[in-house]
């Protein structure tokens, strides 16, 4: 690796691939529920569709991450993953039969599952532990910039062609195709590890990594998963905006604003995290999240929502790329994709549970209690991470010779 250059050619290409892919995906995010309702899907059917799609993404992240490590290949998984997601966009609009929609939507999430571990592993391979925050922060910045541009393009399209949802799915294929084409310019590094025969693995083999992972990985993963349990879907934030009487345009506007803040601050926060410590930055992000969620329980004006979504963008910049950088630092190089795959797989599955519980609390106790409980739970998670840091400092200041087992 060229040590004088932190953002290498490969990091740039992978980041631009994510940028164009997110433009395609986020063009459809604001209209997906409306489109599904327009072709006859009930709220229950939409819920089942999203549940199956996210479970597919969650379980496949670990399997394909594990397979990437065993084959010592990254690029083929990245190319196939982005290709499937791009292809799924026009397929969603080609036919409107429920089974076909289920197939196309699941294909999109399967693509995400195939590429995630390998993409993050190739980013990790391009740098050293001292620069992980910068590299993952830059990638997250580009990815999220696409997430801000996508809904903006959708707003422009719907302004001129109101309720013409199906053509938007065909248009979204264009940036998705650009993302796929760019993957063919990525050059994968040759692995110095000796290539051993690939053993047969079953779909859930990657869960065995938990046992052989280091204690540092397990302790951090437990904290991140505890946080996930209190971090429900962003849809609840948008619902809170709608319940206060803001228009659809205002709702999409604050969502775009959040993504812009996320994109703007991801790289500088990644740079700062490399200086003050990834765990420290993660804790700062979780504290911001907790404060923002408490704020959502009492927010009632567009100004207040603007301030809260600004804070939410800061939280995301402090945690999203940082958590992956931290995970890759705690894993052996040969297990990077598996470590990322297991973590993101468990995160996806717990997000489903978190969103279900959040919906239940919202329905039974009201929105304010949902936000207060989530904010309190994340405050407890902050205490857990502070305990980890204090334990590590104690071990460093009072080293003890380990007794034989």
> What is d(CA 205, CA 208) in angstroms, rounded to the nearest whole number?
6
Q: Residue 136 has which token pair?
A: 């993952």
Position 2 scores a pLDDT of 45
Residue 136 has pLDDT above 90, yes or no: yes
pLDDT the model gives residue 197: 54
pLDDT tens, position by position, 28-40:
877 787 788 788 8
Q: Is the pLDDT score of 133 beyond 80?
A: yes
Q: Is residue 404 part of a domain?
A: no
Give the DSSP H/E element, type plus range, for residue 206: none
Tokens of 32: 């997906």
> Do the Cβ atoms of 222 and 381 come closer than 8 Å?
no
Residue 47: predicted pLDDT: 65
List C-alpha distances in Å: 210 to 207, 213, 216, 222, 388.
Answer: 6, 5, 11, 11, 18
Asked if residue 361 belongs to a domain, the reply is yes
Strand (E) or helix (H) holding 395: helix 367-397
Q: Can you tell me the mean pLDDT for 310-327?
A: 94
pLDDT surpassing 60 at residue 1: no
Instruction: Kindly report, residue by residue over 160-174, the tens digit of the pLDDT.
Output: 888 788 899 999 999
Confidence of residue 198 (pLDDT cuts 50, 70, 90): low
Instruction: Report how many domains make up the chain.
Output: 1
- Cα-Cα-Cα-Cα torsion 180, 184, 186, 187, nearest 10 degrees, comes to 150
In a domain, 403, yes or no: no
CA distance 167 to 188: 36
- Give domain status of residue 200, yes or no: no
Statement: residue 140 has pLDDT above 80:
yes
Residue 400 binned pLDDT confidence (cut-offs 50, 70, 90)? low
**Is the Cβ–Cβ distance between 228 and 356 less than 8 Å?**
no
Residue 190 belongs to some domain of the structure: no
- Is 388 within 8 Å of 219 (Cβ atoms)? yes
Residue 297, judged by CB atoms within 10 A of its CB (0-12, 13-18, 19+), counts as middle
Helix (H) or strand (E) holding 356: helix 336-365
Over residues 245-264, the pLDDT tens digits come to 877 778 778 888 999 999 99
Inform me whether the pLDDT recorded for 266 exceeds 50: yes
The whole-angstrom separation of Cα 143 and Cα 146 is 5
Q: Please tell me the distance from the alpha carbon of residue 319 to that of residue 321, in angstroms, as a whole number.
A: 6
**What distance in Å separates the CA atoms of residue 100 and residue 119, rounded to the nearest whole number?**
28
- Model confidence band, residue 175 (pLDDT cutoffs 50, 70, 90): very high
CA distances from 355 to 61, 101, 193 (A): 20, 23, 41
Checking if the pLDDT of 403 tops 50, the result is no
Confidence of residue 134 (pLDDT cuts 50, 70, 90): very high
- 197: in domain: no
99, part of any domain: yes
Which position has the higher pLDDT, 82 or 156? 82
Structural domain that includes position 19:
9-185+209-396
DSSP character for 131? G
Please enumerate in sequence order all residues whose Cβ is within 8 A of that of 293, keeping only pairs 6 or more positions apart, or say none.
Answer: 371, 372, 374, 375, 378
Residues 6+ apart with CB under 8 A from 33: 46
Token couple for 112 = 């995400």
- CA proximity to 178, closest of 302, 40, 34, 23: 23
Query: Taking all residues of the chain, what is their mean pLDDT, rounded to a whole number?
Result: 87
What share of the chain in percent tops pLDDT 90? 50
Q: Has residue 107 been placed in a domain?
A: yes
Would you mind telling me the total number of residues written for the chain in this entry?
405
Residue 335, pLDDT above cutoff 70? yes
User: What CATH number should be reported for the domain holding residue 228?
Assistant: 1.20.1250.20
């Amino acid at each position: 690796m060229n040590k004088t250059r932190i953002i290498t050619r490969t990091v740039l290409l992978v980041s631009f691939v994510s940028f164009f892919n997110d433009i395609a995906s986020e063009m459809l995010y604001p209209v997906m529920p409306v489109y599904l309702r327009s072709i006859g899907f009930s709220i229950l059917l939409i819920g089942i569709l999203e549940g199956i799609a996210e479970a597919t993404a969650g379980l496949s992240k670990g399997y394909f991450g594990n397979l990437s490590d065993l084959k010592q290949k990254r690029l083929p998984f990245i190319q196939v993953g982005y290709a499937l997601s791009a292809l799924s966009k026009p397929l969603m609009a080609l036919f409107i039969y429920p089974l076909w929609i289920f197939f196309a939507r699941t294909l999109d999430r399967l693509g995400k599952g195939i590429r995630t571990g390998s993409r993050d592993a190739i980013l990790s391979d391009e740098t050293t532990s001292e620069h992980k925050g910068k590299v993952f922060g830059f990638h997250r910045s580009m990815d999220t910039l696409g997430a801000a541009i996508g809904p903006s393009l959708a707003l422009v399209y719907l302004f001129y062609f109101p309720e013409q949802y199906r053509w938007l799915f065909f248009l979204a294929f264009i940036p998705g195709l650009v993302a796929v084409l760019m993957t063919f310019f990525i050059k994968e590094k040759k692995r110095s590890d000796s290539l051993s025969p690939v053993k047969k693995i079953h779909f859930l083999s990657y869960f065995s990594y938990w046992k052989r992972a280091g204690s540092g990985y397990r302790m951090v993963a437990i904290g991140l998963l505890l946080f996930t349990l209190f971090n429900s879907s962003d849809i609840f934030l948008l619902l809170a905006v709608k319940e206060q009487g803001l228009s659809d345009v205002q709702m999409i506007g604050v969502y775009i604003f959040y993504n812009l803040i996320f994109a703007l601050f991801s790289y500088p926060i990644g740079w700062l995290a490399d200086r003050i410590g990834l765990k420290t930055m993660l804790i700062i992000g979780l504290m911001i999240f907790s404060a923002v969620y408490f704020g959502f329980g009492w927010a009632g004006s567009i100004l207040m929502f603007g301030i809260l979504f600004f804070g939410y963008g800061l939280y995301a910049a402090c945690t999203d790329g940082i958590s992956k950088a931290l995970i890759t630092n705690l894993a052996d190089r040969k297990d990077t994709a598996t470590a990322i795959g297991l973590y993101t797989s468990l995160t996806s599955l717990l997000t489903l549970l978190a969103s279900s519980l959040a919906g239940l609390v919202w329905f039974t106790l009201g929105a304010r209690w949902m936000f207060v409980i989530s904010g309190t739970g994340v405050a407890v998670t902050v205490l857990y991470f502070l305990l980890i840091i204090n334990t590590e400092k104690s071990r460093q200041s009072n080293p003890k010779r380990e007794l034989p087992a």
